[in-house]
Amino acid sequence: MNPLFIVIEGLDGSGKTTQIDMLRDRLQGMGQACHLTAEPTELPTGKLIRSILQHEIEADPRTVAALFAADRIEHLHHPTEGMLHQLAEGYHVIASRYYFSSLAYQSEFADPGWIASLNMLAKRTLPADITFFLDLEPAISMERIEARGAATELFETQEKLAHVRESFHLAFEHFGDGENIHIIDASTDPVSISEAIWSVIEDHTAD
């Protein structure tokens, strides 16, 4: 199997982490090497973003949008942690979030056209082989976030999640041309969701 670049998008609480772990286990079980990664990254750009999301420091929403785009460039090109490097080394790269998250989350605060242009470089450099969107009613997403008991981050209120969900769908429509995007019902149990994801990957690799 050629190294695949798979992106998992979804609302907060949609089960991305569980699905990413299950997918990694499945691929590794077949002897395939995987590199798991996420945005915001663990690089300095990503750490700065996390401090803003956790209300430790304040920044203009347009600065946040620009920081996400900058973090994404690091995520692509970093000499050791970068996704381009990992793919070149033969790893499947599974990323939690990529540029559709920026279109979905930042478009409430800044011009969507400007956000799209900030992210065009990433789209041209490395579009995902497959993007999965774990789709979930915001009310369920909120329940799961609350059950997790973690401090509420900047984007985690039900009203905001509803807006973000709609924005994701719009982003796939307007910024998803030429891409392989699959909307997955994330309200079912983890095993069924994982099977739905796996059948798409099987179809893709059978081509």
Q: Report the candidate in 197, 204, 203, 180 with the shortest Cα–Cα distance to residue 25.
A: 197
Which among 25-33, 93-101, 170-178, 192-200 is the span making contact with ligand TYD, rule CB under 6 A? 93-101
Q: Report the candidate in 28, 184, 26, 179 with the shortest Cα–Cα distance to residue 103.
A: 179
| Smallest separation, CB 141 to ligand TYD (Å) | 9
Chosen residue from 7, 12, 138, 142 binding ligand TYD by CB under 6 A: 12
| Smallest separation, CB 60 to ligand TYD (Å) | 14
Burial 19-46 (b: 16+ CB within 10 A, else e): bbebbbeebeeeeeebbbbbbbbebebb
Total residues interacting with ligand TYD, rule: CB under 6 A: 14
Q: Report the candidate in 65, 67, 83 with the shortest Cα–Cα distance to residue 75.
A: 83
Strand pairing report for 34-38 and 130-135: unpaired
What residues numbered 97-136 form the site for ligand TYD, per CB under 6 A?
97, 101-102, 105-106
Contact between 96 and ligand TYD by CB under 6 A: the answer reads yes
Task: Give the nearer residue to ligand TYD in terms of CB position, either 124 or 148.
Answer: 148
Contact between 68 and ligand TYD by CB under 6 A: the answer reads yes
Contact between 172 and ligand TYD by CB under 6 A: the answer reads no
Task: Give the nearer residue to ligand TYD in terms of CB position, either 31 or 149.
Answer: 149
What residues numbered 133-162 form the site for ligand TYD, per CB under 6 A?
153, 155
| Smallest separation, CB 12 to ligand TYD (Å) | 4
- Using an 8 Å Cβ cutoff, are 83 and 93 in contact? yes
Contact between 53 and ligand TYD by CB under 6 A: the answer reads yes
Burial 111-141 (b: 16+ CB within 10 A, else e): ebeebbebbeebbeebbbbbbbbbbbebeeb
| Burial of 163 per CB tally in 10 Å (0-12, 13-18, 19+) | middle
Task: Give the nearer residue to ligand TYD in terms of CB position, either 85 or 160.
Answer: 160
Token reading at 204: 């893709």
| Smallest separation, CB 198 to ligand TYD (Å) | 22
Contact between 60 and ligand TYD by CB under 6 A: the answer reads no
> Cα angle at 177 between 112 and 18, to 5 degrees?
80
Residues in the site for ligand TYD, rule: CB under 6 A?
A: 12, 16, 39-40, 53, 68, 96-97, 101-102, 105-106, 153, 155
